[in-house]
Amino acid sequence: MLAYHRPIMLREVLDGLQVKEGIYFDGTVGGAGHSAAILAANPKARLIATDKDGEAIAEAERTLAPFAGRFSLHRTDFKNFETVLAEEGVGELDGFLLDLGISSHQIDDEARGFAYRMADAPLDMRMDARSSLTAEEVVNTYSEEALIRIFKEYGEERFAAPVARGIVRERAKEPIKTAGALKAIVEEGLPPKERGAACARKVFQAIRIEVNGELDGLYECVTGLLRRLKPEGRGCIITFHSLEDRVVKRAFAELSTACTCPKSFPICVCGKRREIEPVTKKPLTASEEEVAENPRSKSAKLRIARRLEA
């Protein structure tokens, strides 16, 4: 089960979901490590899962084969959950999981071009191979201003301007086609003290987010899924960088806040009510043991919410 992708904080997710008889949604099935554990946790649980990656769907089919008849897989973005649930004839959910990280398989597959450490990897970065936009197109066709914007917004890169300037200068000589070529340009645009093995991480993250539209509609999706939960249903969301976590935190805050009328009002006129309750005040993180076994879990944050009675 772990060969394709090791599920992050598996025990914590299962504790958070409290799997019972009912319908569960795994929006980022990956290698189906979490999904298999959800189905194994209760023999009367049913699973609906999505993933944009065709390789992930194929791997999930193999992993979940022992649970035949209890799951269905859809190759689509989890943000299309409304359409998927309509196709399945499902109105409410007993629980859902979103693991927003990129899978280990995607990182380790050189042909996918996600890892800046793989010098010869092509600049692809598509989670869905059917998508038209690639990292190579972003790097070689976006204006300097557009590159600066995504490096700042999606990578929180302090040196976005000199890095973007270097990319535009170098691509005028010849197209930038490999991860190694891009990393070298990024490193050159940074002050000497900022250079090193992982110096291109923020820029690669920014390009990946742009290519896959990872933040587009995320807030609406999280709030929509939370509102699809039955009373006492639970939602678990794992994020791997601060941009995602801020969106999830904001969604949780919005749905867990009651009346927003000014304190001077004698009665509530806004009609807003609490819809969810965060299960923990702060997000959970991977244990020291898990980080030691799987260093990629170090940046993961798990937020859990419980749906309140209507």
Higher confidence at residue 72 or residue 6? 72
Mean pLDDT of the chain: 91
CA gap 185, 104 in Å, rounded: 26
Tokens 């990656």 correspond to what residue? 53
Instruction: Kindly report the pTM of this predicted structure.
Output: 0.88
In the chain, where do the E strands start and end? 22-26, 45-50, 71-74, 93-99, 229-239, 276-278, 301-307
Q: What percent of the chain has pLDDT over 70?
A: 92
On the question of pLDDT at 106 being above 80, the answer is: no
Q: How does strand 301-307 pair with strand 229-239?
A: antiparallel
CA gap 44, 288 in Å, rounded: 33
Residues 199 and 234 in one domain: no
Residues 20 and 84 in one domain: yes
On the question of pLDDT at 71 being above 50, the answer is: yes
Q: Among the listed ranges 10-19, 45-54, 194-203, 227-236, which one has the minimum average pLDDT value?
A: 194-203
Residues 23 and 116 in one domain: no
On the question of pLDDT at 234 being above 60, the answer is: yes
- Beta-bridge mates of residue 307: 276
Residues 113 and 163 in one domain: yes
Residues 53 and 75 in one domain: yes
pLDDT band at 5 (very low <50, low <70, confident <90, very high): low
On the question of pLDDT at 244 being above 70, the answer is: yes
212, 229, 244: which is the final residue of a domain?
A: 212
Residues 116 and 204 in one domain: yes
Q: What is the CATH number of the domain that holds 83?
A: 3.40.50.150
Residue 2 has what pLDDT? 42
Q: Domain range for residue 139?
A: 107-212
Q: Kindly report, residue by residue over 136-150, the tens digit of the pLDDT.
A: 999 999 999 999 999
212, 236, 253: which is the final residue of a domain?
A: 212
Nearest 5 degrees, angle CA 49-CA 55-CA 61?
50
Residues 270 and 300 in one domain: yes
Residues 143 and 185 in one domain: yes
Residue 1 has what pLDDT? 38
CA gap 272, 282 in Å, rounded: 24
**Residue 98 DSSP SS3:** strand
Residues 221 and 95 in one domain: yes
1 in any annotated domain: no
pLDDT band at 268 (very low <50, low <70, confident <90, very high): confident
Structurally, how many domains does the chain consist of? 2
- Beta-bridge mates of residue 238: 99, 302
Q: Rounded to a whole number, what is the distance in angstroms from the first to the last CA of the chain?
A: 38
Closest C-alpha among 159, 183, 157 to residue 170: 183
CA gap 291, 50 in Å, rounded: 27
